[in-house]
Amino acid sequence: MIKKITILFIISFVISCSGDDEFTRVTSEIDITIGNSIFVNNGQILVSGIKNSNNNLTTKFWIDNISTDSITFANLLKIDDIYRGSIDNLYRTTFINKTHNYDANLYSFHQGALMSDGNILFYKDNNPITTNIPNPGVLSAISFFNKQPFYSGHISKEIFTELQQPSFVPSIPFFWDGNSPIIELPMPEELFFRGTSCLLVDSDDFYVGGKTSFPMYWKNTEMIKLGELFGEVNQIYLAGENIYAVGFYNKNNSNSTGHTACYWKNGELFELDDNAQANGIFIDGNDIYICGSTGNVPVEYNACYWKNGIRVNLPK
């Protein structure tokens, strides 16, 4: 069985798709966790995520429902696995790609456009890399195929506030192979667009999750709509001929609270739990593992995973 992994943007809140900044803006006494990435290796279930303890954000790891450290977690990953890390002290989203048994690369992306001149940049192992893509815009997700990194992101539009202060809003989604000109992804003009959430590259095909007013993704330049109600796709996964998209939708068409964690298999909806969000997926044989969090609002989020639809809550 062919298994490919894509990484989410970025924690669309967190990667559950209200946005990373929502995870950082909580100001009350909090102890929040979410699961972002999940793997299975020799029967052991590995989950990485984010912990927010009174606005101190760290990457959190679990093995078989027990909290663990980053080294133990990384030792059980396979070469080329990639997982989502925490937001760093410069408010960048992070992804960690295991390259060798004792080595990994750190990729960091700004969460929004910062300037109108120059070219978009990102960071590899905290070293800035300037792309050939003109600003304003950002890269937001990364995927590997044959050890080559690929990216998705968006071009931004510069607008001015009532006080004539410049601001940037997402405008044009794109896919980038790291060298060639970007491939712009088609989108209806009236569609509300907030960025790209995840990316998967498989041979000649690429899949990009979009953050819009309904759950959707692009396969190459074809837009695939998964429902009418508000929702998002946070990871895309291929297993054989089957395409899985994991995320959430909202039965009340709300963009803020009360989401339903779910996944789509070849476009067919499968619900997991109400008041929950799904962020990552891994398929091992006939078993479907999905990680995310429960909670009606961000201050209630607690990391969990589902194995074939049965939820397991993870300790904080």
Tens-place pLDDT, residues 130-165: 999 999 999 999 999 999 999 999 999 998 888 888
Residue with the two structure tokens 């894509």: 6
Residue 28: predicted pLDDT: 58
**pLDDT above 60: residue 27:** no
**Structure confidence by residue, pLDDT tens digits, 57-84:** 999 999 999 999 999 999 999 999 999 9
Residue with the two structure tokens 């910062």: 114
Residue 29: predicted pLDDT: 79
**Structure confidence by residue, pLDDT tens digits, 118-132:** 999 999 999 999 999
- Residue 55 near residue 61, CB atoms below 8 Å: no
pLDDT band at 278 (very low <50, low <70, confident <90, very high): very high
Residue 3: predicted pLDDT: 41
Q: How many helices (H) and strands (E) does the chain have?
A: 2, 27
Longest dimension (CA), the chain: 58
**Distances in whole angstroms, Cα of residue 83 to Cα of each of 7, 29, 142, 202, 297:** 7, 28, 10, 18, 24
- Domains of the chain (ranges, CATH numbers): 3-313 (2.120.10)
- Residue 280 near residue 290, CB atoms below 8 Å: yes
Would you call 298 helix, strand, or coil by DSSP? Answer: helix
**pLDDT above 50: residue 246:** yes
Residue with the two structure tokens 């950002």: 138
Check: pTM over 0.85? Answer yes or no: yes
Nearest to 18 by CA among 277, 270, 315, 229: 277
Taking all residues of the chain, what is their mean pLDDT, rounded to a whole number? 91
Q: What residue type is 287 in one-letter code? A: D
**pLDDT above 50: residue 226:** yes
Token couple for 127: 């070293």
Q: How far is 280 from 132, CA to CA, in rounded Å? A: 30
Counting residues of the chain whose pLDDT is more than 90, the rounded percentage is: 82
Residue 256: predicted pLDDT: 87
CA 209 to chain CA centroid, nearest Å: 9
CA angle 11, 14, 17 (to 5 degrees): 90
**Structure confidence by residue, pLDDT tens digits, 32-61:** 999 999 999 999 999 999 999 998 999 999
Residue with the two structure tokens 């997982």: 83
Q: In what order do the strands lie in the sheet with 103-110?
A: 82-84, 92-100, 103-110, 119-124, 127-134
- Residue 245 near residue 256, CB atoms below 8 Å: no
**pLDDT above 80: residue 303:** yes
Comparing 22 with 167, which gets the higher pLDDT?
167
